[in-house]
Structure formats: structure tokens, C-alpha cells
Amino acid sequence: MSDIVEKTLTALPGLFLQNQPGGGPAAAKASFSSRLGSLVRGITALTSKHEEEKLIQQELSSLKATVSAPTTTLKMMKECMVRLIYCEMLGYDASFGYIHAIKLAQQGNLLEKRVGYLAVSLFLHESHELLLLLVNTVVKDLQSTNLVEVCMALTVVSQIFPREMIPAVLPLIEDKLQHSKEIIRRKAVLALYKFHLIAPNQVQHIHIKFRKALCDRDVGVMAASLHIYLRMIKENSSGYKDLTGSFVTILKQVVGGKLPVDFNYHILLQVLQKYILLLYLTMILTISAIFIFLSLAILFECVHTVYSIYPKSELLEKAAKCIGKFVLSPKINLKYLGLKALTYVIQQDPTLALQHQMTIIECLDHPDPIIKRETLELLYRITNAQNVTVIVQKMLEYLHQSKEEYVIVNLVGKIADVLVLNTVDTYAPDNAWFIQTMNAVFSVGGDVMHPDIPNNFLRLLAEGFDDETEDQQLRLYAVQSYLTLLDMENVFYPQRFLQVMSWVLGEYSYLLDKETPAEVIAKLYKLLMNDSVSSETKTWLIAAVTKLTPQAHSFDTVERLIHEFTISLDTCMRQHAFELKHLHENVELMKSLLPVDRSCEDLVVDASLSFLDGFVAEGLSQGAAPYKPHHQRQEEKLSQEKVLNFEPYGLSFSSSGFTGRQSPAGISLGSDISGNSAETGLKETNSLKLEGIKKLWGKEGYLPKKESKTGDESGALPVPQESIMENVDQAITKKDQSQVLTQSKEEKEKQLLASSLFVGLGSESTVNLLGKADTVSHKFRRKSKVKEAKSGETTSTHNMTCSSFSSLSNVAYEDDYYLNTLHDRGDKELKTFSLNSELLDSESLTELPLVEKFSNCSLSTPSLFADNSMEIFHPPQSTAASVAKESSLASSFLEETTEYIHSNAMEICNNETISVSSYKIWKDDCLLMVWSVTNKSGLELKSANLEIFPAENFKVTEQPGCCLPVMEAESTKSFQYSVQIEKPFTEEILSGFISYHMMDAHSAQLEFSVNLSLLDFIRPLKISSEDFGKLWLSFANDVKQNVKMSESQAALPFALKTLQQKLRLHIIEIIGNEGLLACQLLPSIPCLLHCRVYADVLALWFRSSCSTLPDYLLYQCQKVMEGS
Amino acid sequence: MIQAILVFNNHGKPRLVRFYQRFPEEIQQQIVRETFHLVLKRDDNICNFLEGGSLIGGSDYKLIYRHYATLYFVFCVDSSESELGILDLIQVFVETLDKCFENVCELDLIFHMDKVHYILQEVVMGGMVLETNMNEIVAQIEAQNRLEKSELLAWGL
């Protein structure tokens, strides 16, 4: 039947084309739409999935024939596409039709195009290769005069568009922002937002146009632009402060009822959340009088906002009232939101929970699991020692009902958090309850739970609390309960739980009175023989058996076990069995090796492997080469390469000079060391080596390794000579464990802080939720072992290396200094003046003299070291003290650092005691940030310290002398940090804080942030035209763009001059209407630029070894050219 | 941002599937199935929000759904969207469908799948809400319909 229809269909096109009146088209239409109809009907009539599959496959093959037949008209194709979309929706592959969908969009008339576009946007995804075929069509349609076509093109662009083709349509869409129709403007804004999401650096230059969109007279356009601002403000909240006014105006209009209550305003609120807007929120909160659905949505956001901004009591009161309305609402959706809001605010205001306790309890038994879960979440936040049993019980109840993995993982995590992880004082009221609850958690959560949970539980057991007898009881109880659990027949426990059990049994079985170790071993053996136990768990089990063996008196089971597993196919098990076997032969050794209850004592490990010294010496005497660590070998290789490198352009001259000076000493030291390691004392060796490393690398990247070495070293010193060979591998694993322990101790410290805050909240307001006043105090208090000795040692070595480093660099610095001060003093005034204004407009370097000076001075004095001035600045006595302190500060800077181009000091934060100014120095090899701290008070400040938050795009290195023990009254000190760029960006914020102690011992903190632009890291690259040619060919990443020039700058030399001055590009050569420029991004990423002028268009062509740099530079160029 | 819009009937048959974030074909089908099972379990008189779980993107995502006669309309959104706002949007979308199809029923959605997509395109564009005013949406759709009619007339002549 379908075949016949098919044939008639293929015969029909002739009729269509001739436009014959009569039944033709109508019949065709009927038959096509009924094809879809019959397909749908066919599918609904079917009962099994299998039959459906068959039918669809049949349909697809007939469609395939139709779409690929040359006689198929576009109109028929349109119908086919709809059917293809249907099949694809049901999950069947219709990829043969993709190309036809694109064709339809390209060639069809309006209606067919619409189907084509729809099909394309449903079928394809952003990185699909066929999408490139669509680009031309989209470009054509964007230029069309037909509104519908433009709309369609914009829609498809916002759904799917290949990232790399954005430049092709970008200008067209930008034009659409000025279109007379609102709908087009609105869609254009959304399309641009989409571009912003997938390729942010491509749309950076149209931010001004977004601003226009924000002020659009059409509400929709304005609302659409809010998306963009939300995103951008999330990324950089300080950059858009000036827009706050506009946002507030919009909000006022909404509140005043001048604008329709629209959906997108919640975004506006999220935008505003970033800023403090007490005034207008009060106004909105009064909207609650009007109970419209959407205003509720806005209200909810308001409550969020109130609690996320700086708290103000009257606002909080109103917000609390609103939350009350939500929570008490009979409408279930509002109740849900109310609970959510409550969860959100509960930490700030626990009394609110008291007000609504009855509702909360009702919700706890609500039939809706979602509400229940939200309530549990809320309870979780207010857990304390008194209500913990009830809350955990509720959570466990929910856990037993729930089947979803996500829920289980989430809740198990929370229970464990309450009990073990988060708190120093666990809330658990007694041992039995604690162990039983954990048992329940382990058996339900099983293998999906977070691995931290069992680890932390074991740690808690092992480290114990203050009271030793209490600890023993807890452990004993755990052992007993596990033995009972293991006695039960036919119960399967999750692997994680078994692992926990085997560890506890192995460690603490000795506490048992009535059961002998042999009996425990028998139980473990039974588990070992069980097939359902995974091999990982089996290794835990066998480890437990090994621990128990020395305590046992009869060895039948152990021998049986050894016999069983020495022939196991699992190598790991076999290994363990052999170990056990050999240890078992010497019970005395085994006892000393596996002492009872020593699990949390730190093992002393001979990390230097000194017992191998004899072996090494023997090897050396037989002529073997001394060992060199990996980095040293690499460094040697590198420095050899450097010697042979005759390339005239020293792209990385600073770093090569650096290693050239330092590395020979370092290497010789290092190799001496490893050669003599047999003879020289351990400690000396290591400390020498450390210095070598520091000098060689001198970057932060290496420090962690060094620290861990120091740690080992301190442990290694008191090693007794009998440190046994057999012990080694075990010892090493234990060492790893202990390292993990110390690491997580830092985490614990943080958690301690968080939890102590939390506990304070709960107890202070006495949230006695369910009226059960348990008087159990916190029995469990964890011991805090801080390894101060270790950390102290680390810092001291660090300091030592720093100081030796700086003394070396001082010499080199002084030479340069005299040269440069002479050279630059004349221009000082001019320079600082211009830089001052530049800082105000921090986006670009706009002053002409600045960059000229820059290229003059900085390039002629290649300095090897990043730290040019380590002295502390003292403000000159002569300046009148009453006149603005900043000016005196600035002048003191000038005296010290004139050899480099620098910005003027700008105050970034202050309070009554100190004020902080910052100041950039553009050095050849890095950007040096100087923060100058002035003590305004009459008191001495202690331990002033400046810390920079880590940022992903930067590497910030502290220059020596940054921690000041004492700061005299009314003095100024400066902190220097060299900033290296890790990854190109346009503008980033570097923030940090300064902390200090007053004399009366109270400490304070002050936060600040500084904007850094890409241009801070761009330096001219001086190379010859030939080198340019060579480099040009070797770079793979290129970007081309045409920029329109205004009349005034139409000449090439002028344009290049602008680039040179504002972007610090180096002009290599100008040939006719073409120009060659080069620059480098610090530390040494070169970027080349080729310019060509036609009429008023400047064609820019960037090439670089870095893939993203050209994009960013292009953006800067565009900005410069537009700006001038 | 809206990640996906799913419409399926009481038996889990998809009637409209629109993803604004790329997922492989199999995953899309899996998401539809799992969402259906999540939603089906829920009574009509309990709340319309669901936490997405492990399906799309994890805990940052939420499902907001409404049940109309034989159809479920499910929106999967991220945390920046307002729950009540989306709930209202679903209502707007359904009312618009009702206006365009004159008493919309499941069959309309099946047989005029393309039209439903066009209407949706006027409401949500690339995951962002474009228009929430029903009259505006209907006006856009009518403009397109007029176009269609004129085209058909051209053929008929």
C-alpha cells in the first residue's frame, strides 16, 4: 500500500510545477498530512516497543527514498521533514535527512525555509560539521528585508551556531540592535547573549550597545538585556557599578506599576542582589499586598536579596513576615518556596524556625517527598546536640523509603556530616546510638556514599576523644556490634561497610574479653571465602587477619587461610598471603611490627632510604653515574640547549639570563650531593639540595614539594638503625596515610571554624525544636594535634632561601638603578601625571608620552630580577603632614622606582587606622604590584600582613619582605608582588586583604581589589623583519579582522603610531601600505601583527603561538581604533 | 537558563522535545524517560517542583512541571530561573496553544508538531525567555499564519 502511495507521490511534482488547478495540490496535501496522521495512528495502535520500532524503521526507509529522489519538490520535502522530526523525537536516528533539512532552509520559500530551519535546529548541535553549510543562508536571511526571514535567522542563530563562524554574522546582528521593530531588537539581544556565552571575547566590543539595549523603550528588549548583565556582573561585580542607577530606575517603574509585571524581573533582582539597595526593596516588599502570582515570584527573590545583602533589621523583619506568608500558605507550591527561603535564612535567624515549628513538623509528615526532603534540609541546618537524635531518625526514615540514588547519596552525606564529618563535637549523645546510626548509614548508603564518610568515621574512632575510657567503650561497642552483625546469616552488607568492619575488628578486637582473636579470625575467614565480597574488601579483610594473628593462640585458621590464598589467582591477595606467611613464621617480629592500638601514632620513616647507602656506594665504586633528580637532568638539558641557541631574538631573554646565572652553581651543588650521599650527613645534604632547587626554579610551583621534603626530613632524623628492610613497603604506605591525615587536618581546621560558628548560633538561641530537652553534654571532643614544629621548620627554610636569593639579586639591581635614575628623572613629572589619568580610566593606556617613555627606558635596561627595591619606603620628612598623605606617598614611590614606568598611587581601601594605596610597575619581565600601607593611627601595628587571593589567570609571587612584624605609628610600608599571567584575559580583578594587629591585640582585616588589564602584560618585542618572517610562518593561530578607521587616522603611519603608543606594540617596518608589528605577552608569548590599509579600512592579521592571545589583542586594537 | 522543555502524555509518549543544551540522542531519550517516571509518581495535589537529581547537571537544576488533562509539561531549568516564574510561563505557553488551536488537545500537538515548535520559538529562544505576553505571542503566530495563507493562495491560483 505504501509503495503505491509513494509512486503517486513521486509522480505528483509534475502537477505541482505546472500549477494546474484542480485536485492536484489539495490531494497531495491531504495525502501528506494523512501520512503523518497514519503514522501517528499506527504507532498509537501498536502495543509493543518492538512493533513500533519496526514501523518507524519502515517509515524511515521510505522517507529516505523520498528525500533523496531528485524529483521530490521542496514542498514535499517540507512534509517529509515534519515526519522526520517526529521520528527523531521518538528517538530514532534520521541523520540521512540532516543535509536535506539544510537544503530546505537554503532553497525553500518562506514556509519551507521555516520548516528547514526548525529541523536544523532540532537535529544538529553546535559543533556539527554540516552546520557550516548553513552559515551563508543565515547571512543572506539576516540581510533580507522580510521581517519573518530575519526573525527565523535570528532564532536559528540563538539556538545553534558554530562558534568559529560568529564573526561572519556578528556585524549583521549588531546592526539589528538598531532595528525599528522591537521583536527583532529583542531577538538580536538574545542572540548576542548566546554569543557571549559561547565565545565571550568575540562580543566584548559591543558592551556599549548592550547599554543602549538596557535603556530601550521596549520592555522586552530591556528585559532581554538583563540576561547579559546578570552574567557579566556575576563575573565582575565591580565593573558595572555605574549601571546601578539604571537598574534602580527600572525597578522603581516596576514597583510603581508603570511597567507590566513581567517574568524577567527576577533576573533584575538577581542583578541587584550584587549591590546594596535597601531603599527600594522595602518598596517591593509592600507589593505583597497585591497577591498576584508573578509578584510572588518577585517577592521570593526579594526575600533572597534581603538576606544576601548587608542585614538591616527592619528589612529582615519584613522579609520574615513574607516568609511566614509563604510557609503558611495553603498552596503547596508556595509552602515549598517558603521552606526553601527558610532554609536559606535559618543560619542568620534561627528564631524564625521557632516561629514556624508547627508548620515544619507538619511538613515533615507531608505526603509529598519533595516537601519532606526540603524540610529535612532545613532541619539539617539547625541540628544541634539536643535535637540530633530526632532529626537523624527522621532522616533515616526518609532514607529507608527512598529509592533514588541521588537522594541516598545526598542524605547519607548529611547524616554523616551531622555525626562525624563536620563537627569537632559530634552531636551524638551516646556510644550505642552513635554506632547504631552509623551502621544504618553504612548499610543503606553502602557503596554510593562519599568515600570520605567511612574514612572520617574510622579516623574518629582511632583518634578518639579526650576521655580515654570513653574511647575504649566506644571502640568496644563498635567491635561488639560488628560481631553481632557478622553473626547474622544471609545478610549482605555493602562493601564499604565490610571494609569499615574489618578495619575496626583488626584494630580493636583486643578489647574483647570473651571472644578470642582466633574466633574473630574465623569470622573474617568466613567472609573471605564468600564470593560476593569484592577483591578490594578482601585485602582489607586479610589485613585485619594479619593484625590479629600475633594476638591469637591457635593458628589453624590462619594456616588454612595462607594455604588457600598463596595459590589465589588474584596477585594482590597472593602477595598479602605470602607476607602473612613469612611474618607468621616469626611471631616475635610480627608482634613488634603490628603493635596493639597504635593506629594513630605517627610512624617514623626513613624517607632518605639511608639503608641503601651501602648499595649506592657499591654502585658508584663500580663506575655508575651519580643519581640526579629528574628536574635537575631536565635543567641541564635545557641549559645546554640555551648555550647552543644562536637565535638573535631573545624572546625569553630574561628567563634564559636568569638560568644562565644561576644554574651552574645549582647543578654542581646538586650533583655533588647525590654523588656523596653515601658519606655526607643526611640533613646537610637535604638542606643544600633545597637551596639548589630554590635558586634554579625560584617559582612558587616548586614550593609544595620542598615542604613535604622538609616534613619527611624532620621525621627521618631520629631513625634507629634497625629500621628493618622488610618493613619498607608497609612503612611507605603508612607514611602516605599519615600525610593524608595531616593534610585533612588543615581541612578540619577550616571545618572547625565553620562548625563553631554554626554551633554558636544554635546553642545561643536555644532552638529546642521538638521540646525534648536532652541534657547530654558533648562527650566527644576531638584532640587537636597541631604539628607546629613541622610547619615552623618549613617556614624557616623558606625564609632562608628567600633571603639568600634576595642578596644575590641586590647586586645586579644596583647597577641598573643608577643608570636608570639618571635617564628618567627628567621625565618623571610628565610620566606620573599621565599615568594618573590613565589609572582613572583603567581600561586602556591612553596617554601618548607614557608608552614612548616605556619603550625607551624599559627596553634599554633589561633587568634580570623581579625585585628592584626591597627597601621600605619612608615618606619624606619635608612634606607637610596635613596635606593629603597620598601625594607624599606617591612621591616616595617615585624616588625609589623611577627606573620603571609605573602608575600613580591610588588609594584602594582605608579605615580609621590604615590606608592602602596600590600602584603598578610595568617591568620588562613581569608586572610588579606595590601595595603601600600607611599607618594613620598613632599606635604601632603588629604583624601587618598582606595576602592575595589566588586567581586562576594569574600567578602572584610575593617579593621578599612582605610580612612586617612591627609597623610604627604614622609610617608607610610597602608590599610587593610580582604578577605573572597564566592565561590571556581582557580584564581581571586581583583581590586580597591586609590583616594587622593593633597594640591592644585586637586584629583587623581590610579587603581590597585591583583591576588588571591585558595591556599590563604586553611588552614590545624587538625583532627584525627577517625574524618576523620566520616567526610568522611558525605560528599556527591566526585571526583576521577589518577595522574601520575614522577620517583623521586614515593614514597607515598614524594608525600604527596609535597601536604603538597605546598597546605597546613594536613597529618593525612599514612597507608601502603594509606594516609589521610585534609584541609579547609576558613571560614570553610572542604575537605578530600584519596591517594593511585600503581606503578607510585597516585589515589586521594576528598570529601567535598562543591560541587565545590574538582574539584578545584584536579586541584591544578595535577598542583603540574606535576610541581614537 | 532553560535547559530543556519536554511535553509527554500520561503514558510517557513524547509530544514535544526541545533541548537547549546539547545531549547525545540516547541521553535525551533517557532524560525523557526518567523525567516521566519522576513526574508520574507524583499526585496532582502536591507541589510542582522537583529537584533534578542526577539527570541534567545535578543539584543545580530543577524540574518544574504542570499536568494538564493528558499531558505533562516539564521545564528543566537551572538555579537562576524563578520557580514561580517558570510555572507561570508554562501556563502562558499552554494558554497560547489553546488560543492558536482553539481548544487544544493532545491530537493537535501530534498533528501540528511543527506549529507547536513555532509557538514555542516565540516564547523561549535559545533557552532564554523571549516573551511572556500571550497577546504578543499570538500576534506573531498570526502574522506567520497569514503568510502561510497567502502562500497557499498563490499555489491555488
Nearest-CA neighbor of A425 among A888, A921, A762? A762
Asked if pLDDT for residue A584 goes beyond 60, the answer is yes
Range of the domain at A440: 433-593
Measured between CB atoms, does B82 come within 8 Å of chain A? yes
Instruction: Give the residue on A whose Cα is nearest the Cα of B34.
Output: A404
Flag whether the pTM goes above 0.80: no
> What's the rounded Cα separation, in Å, for the pair A1115 and A203?
9
Q: List the beta strands (DSSP E) in A912-971.
A: 914-922, 927-935, 941-948, 954-958, 964-967
Of A86, A109, A297, the CB nearest to B82: A297
pLDDT digits (tens, 9 = 90+) for A1071-1089: 877 888 888 887 778 888 8
Segment of A17-21, A788-792, A962-966, A1092-1096 carrying the highest mean pLDDT: A1092-1096
Q: Are residues A983 and A1065 in the same domain?
A: no
What pLDDT, on a 0 to 100 scale, did the predictor assign at position A255? 61
Residue where one domain finishes, among candidates A234, A252, A278: A278
Nearest-CA neighbor of A158 among A130, A183, A188? A188
Instruction: Give the residue on B whose Cα is nearest the Cα of A159.
Output: B126
CA A582 to chain centre: 49
- Map residue B54 onto helix, strand or coil: coil
Are A851 and A1061 contacting, i.e. CB atoms less than 8 angstroms apart? yes
CB contact under 8 A, A370 and B53: no
CB contact under 8 A, A109 and B50: no
CB contact under 8 A, A410 and B45: no
Chain A stretch 331-360, residues whose beta carbon is closer than 8 A to a beta carbon of chain B: 332-333, 335-337
Span between the terminal Cα atoms of chain A, in Å: 73
> What's the rounded Cα separation, in Å, for the pair B156 and A445?
68
Instruction: Give the residue on A whose Cα is nearest the Cα of B23.
Output: A125
What pLDDT, on a 0 to 100 scale, did the predictor assign at position A568? 80
Q: Is residue A811 very low, low, confident or very high in pLDDT (cuts 50, 70, 90)? A: very low
Q: Which residues contact A1028 (CB under 8 A, 6 or more apart)?
A: A1068, A1069, A1076, A1078, A1088
What pLDDT, on a 0 to 100 scale, did the predictor assign at position A387? 73
Segment of A77-91, A312-326, A789-803 carrying the highest mean pLDDT: A77-91
C-alpha cell at A1012: 588588571
Phi/psi class of residue A786: alpha, beta or left (left: φ > 0; alpha: ψ in -120 to 50)?
Answer: beta
- B157/chain A closest Cα distance in angstroms: 7
**Does residue A92 lie in a domain region?**
no
Phi, then psi, of A415 in degrees rounded to 5: -60, -50
Q: According to DSSP H, which parts of B44-156 are helical?
A: 83-101, 106-111, 113-123, 134-156
**AA letter at A655:** S
Asked if pLDDT for residue A862 goes beyond 60, the answer is no
Gyration radius of chain B over CA positions: 16
Are A254 and A285 contacting, i.e. CB atoms less than 8 angstroms apart? no
Asked if pLDDT for residue B112 goes beyond 80, the answer is yes
Average pLDDT in the A995-1007 region?
71
What pLDDT, on a 0 to 100 scale, did the predictor assign at position A960? 61
**Does residue A713 lie in a domain region?**
no
> What's the rounded Cα separation, in Å, for the pair A98 and A130?
8
**Does residue A261 lie in a domain region?**
yes
Kind plus residue range of the DSSP H or E element containing A1104 = strand A1097-1104
Grid cell 569470622 is found at A523
Chain A residues in contact with B155 by the CB 8 A cut-off are 19, 25
What pLDDT, on a 0 to 100 scale, did the predictor assign at position A256? 60
> What's the rounded Cα separation, in Å, for the pair A907 and A910?
8
Measured between CB atoms, does A14 come within 8 Å of chain B? no
Nearest-CA neighbor of A652 among A1081, A1104, A1102? A1081
Asked if pLDDT for residue A117 goes beyond 60, the answer is yes
Three-state DSSP string of A673-715: HHHHCCCCCHHHHHHHHHHHHHHHHCCHHHHHHHHHHHHHHHH
Q: Are residues A921 and A1053 in the same domain?
A: no
Q: Are residues A918 and A1063 in the same domain?
A: no
Helix axes A49-68, A23-45, angle to 10 degrees: 160
Asked if pLDDT for residue A763 goes beyond 70, the answer is no
CB contact under 8 A, B50 and A337: no
Q: Are residues A449 and A557 in the same domain?
A: yes
Our CA angle for A647, A652, A657, nearest 5°, is 90
Q: Is residue A962 very low, low, confident or very high in pLDDT (cuts 50, 70, 90)? A: low
Q: Are residues A578 and A469 in the same domain?
A: yes
Q: Are residues A967 and A1073 in the same domain?
A: no
The mean of the pLDDT values for chain A is 68
Q: Are residues A437 and A565 in the same domain?
A: yes
Chain A stretch 147-176, residues whose beta carbon is closer than 8 A to a beta carbon of chain B: 148, 155, 158-159
Beta bridge partners of A1080: A1019, A1086
**Does residue A238 lie in a domain region?**
yes
Asked if pLDDT for residue B46 goes beyond 90, the answer is no
B70, B130, B140, best to mutate vs chain A, most A CBs in 10 Å: B130
Segment of A448-452, A492-496, A731-735, A817-821 carrying the highest mean pLDDT: A492-496
Chain A stretch 45-104, residues whose beta carbon is closer than 8 A to a beta carbon of chain B: 82, 85-86, 89-91, 93
Q: Are residues A1035 and A911 in the same domain?
A: no
Segment of A246-260, A513-527, A718-732, B80-94 carrying the highest mean pLDDT: B80-94
Q: Exposed/middle/buried for A1034, CB within 10 Å: 0-12, 13-18, 19+?
A: exposed
Nearest-CA neighbor of A122 among B111, B46, B146, B121? B121
A1085-1094 vs B49-51, strand pairing mode: unpaired
Q: Evaluate whether ipTM surpasses 0.95.
A: no
Q: List the beta strands (DSSP E) in A259-404.
A: none
> What's the rounded Cα separation, in Å, for the pair A836 and A958?
25
DSSP states of A99-160: HHHHHHHHHS-HHHHHHHHHHHHHH--TT-GGGHHHHHHHHHHHH-S-HHHHHHHHHHHHH-
Segment of A119-128, A306-315, A844-853, A899-908 carrying the highest mean pLDDT: A119-128
Asked if pLDDT for residue A909 goes beyond 60, the answer is yes
Measured between CB atoms, does B155 come within 8 Å of chain A? yes
CATH value at residue A991: 2.60.40.1230
> Which of A265-274, A334-343, A655-664 has the lowest average pLDDT?
A655-664
B13, B84, B124, best to mutate vs chain A, most A CBs in 10 Å: B84
Residue where one domain finishes, among candidates A1016, A1047, A1067: A1016
Are A222 and A190 contacting, i.e. CB atoms less than 8 angstroms apart? no
pLDDT digits (tens, 9 = 90+) for A433-478: 778 888 888 887 777 777 777 887 888 777 776 677 777 888 888 8
Total domains in chain A come to: 4
> What's the rounded Cα separation, in Å, for the pair A1115 and A1063?
11
For residues A521, A527, A528, A529, the Cα torsion angle rounded to the nearest 10 degrees is 120
Average pLDDT in the A536-557 region?
82
CB contact under 8 A, B53 and A406: yes
What pLDDT, on a 0 to 100 scale, did the predictor assign at position A674? 40
Average pLDDT in the A834-839 region?
41
Beta bridge partners of A1040: A1101
A987-997 vs A964-967, strand pairing mode: unpaired
CB contact under 8 A, B130 and A36: no
Measured between CB atoms, does B156 come within 8 Å of chain A? yes
- Map residue B128 onto helix, strand or coil: strand
CA A171 to chain centre: 33
Q: Are residues A567 and A454 in the same domain?
A: yes
CB contact under 8 A, B156 and A333: no
Chain B residues in contact with A21 by the CB 8 A cut-off are 156-157
Average pLDDT in the A344-363 region?
75
Average pLDDT in the B1-12 region?
89
> What's the rounded Cα separation, in Å, for the pair A1052 and A1095?
10
Average pLDDT in the B36-52 region?
81
Nearest-CA neighbor of A843 among A1120, A515, A609? A1120
Cβ atoms < 10 Å from Cβ of A132: 12
CB contact under 8 A, A111 and B148: yes
CA distances from A192 to A207, A530, A1112, B122, B155 (A): 10, 62, 18, 17, 38
Higher pLDDT, B123 or A294: B123
What pLDDT, on a 0 to 100 scale, did the predictor assign at position B94? 92
pLDDT digits (tens, 9 = 90+) for A296-314: 666 677 777 666 666 666 6
Asked if pLDDT for residue B3 goes beyond 80, the answer is yes
- Based on DSSP, count helices (H) and strands (E) in chain A, helices before strands: 46, 16
CA distances from A160 to A153, B1, B56 (A): 11, 15, 19
Asked if pLDDT for residue A863 goes beyond 60, the answer is no
> What's the rounded Cα separation, in Å, for the pair A767 and A769?
5
> What's the rounded Cα separation, in Å, for the pair A709 and A798?
12
Are A941 and A967 contacting, i.e. CB atoms less than 8 angstroms apart? yes
CATH value at residue A1033: 3.30.310.10
pLDDT digits (tens, 9 = 90+) for A965-980: 666 767 777 777 888 7
Q: Is residue A259 very low, low, confident or very high in pLDDT (cuts 50, 70, 90)? A: low
Residue where one domain finishes, among candidates A575, A593, A611: A593
Taken in order of first residue, the domains within chain B and their CATH numbers are 1-153 (3.30.450.60)
Are A899 and A824 contacting, i.e. CB atoms less than 8 angstroms apart? yes
Beta bridge partners of A917: A907, A932
Q: Are residues A972 and A1049 in the same domain?
A: no
For residues A529, A534, A535, A536, the Cα torsion angle rounded to the nearest 10 degrees is -130
Cβ atoms < 10 Å from Cβ of A1083: 16
C-alpha cell at A911: 579605615
Phi, then psi, of A343 in degrees rounded to 5: -60, -40
- Map residue A914 onto helix, strand or coil: strand
Q: Are residues A1009 and A1079 in the same domain?
A: no
**Does residue A132 lie in a domain region?**
no
CA distances from A141 to A133, A137, A157, B115, B145 (A): 14, 6, 11, 21, 19
Helix, strand, coil tally for chain A in percent (to 5): 65, 10, 25
Are A512 and A553 contacting, i.e. CB atoms less than 8 angstroms apart? no
C-alpha cell at A454: 567511612
Q: Is residue B72 very low, low, confident or very high in pLDDT (cuts 50, 70, 90)? A: very high
Q: Is residue B7 very low, low, confident or very high in pLDDT (cuts 50, 70, 90)? A: very high
**Does residue A347 lie in a domain region?**
no
**Does residue A617 lie in a domain region?**
no
Q: Are residues A487 and A586 in the same domain?
A: yes
> What's the rounded Cα separation, in Å, for the pair A720 and A343?
57
What pLDDT, on a 0 to 100 scale, did the predictor assign at position A646? 52
Are A1014 and A975 contacting, i.e. CB atoms less than 8 angstroms apart? no
**Does residue A307 lie in a domain region?**
no
Are A1061 and A1096 contacting, i.e. CB atoms less than 8 angstroms apart? no
Helix, strand, coil tally for chain B in percent (to 5): 50, 20, 30
Higher pLDDT, A68 or A1: A68
Instruction: Give the residue on A whose Cα is nearest the Cα of B11.
Output: A44
Phi, then psi, of A313 in degrees rounded to 5: -60, -40
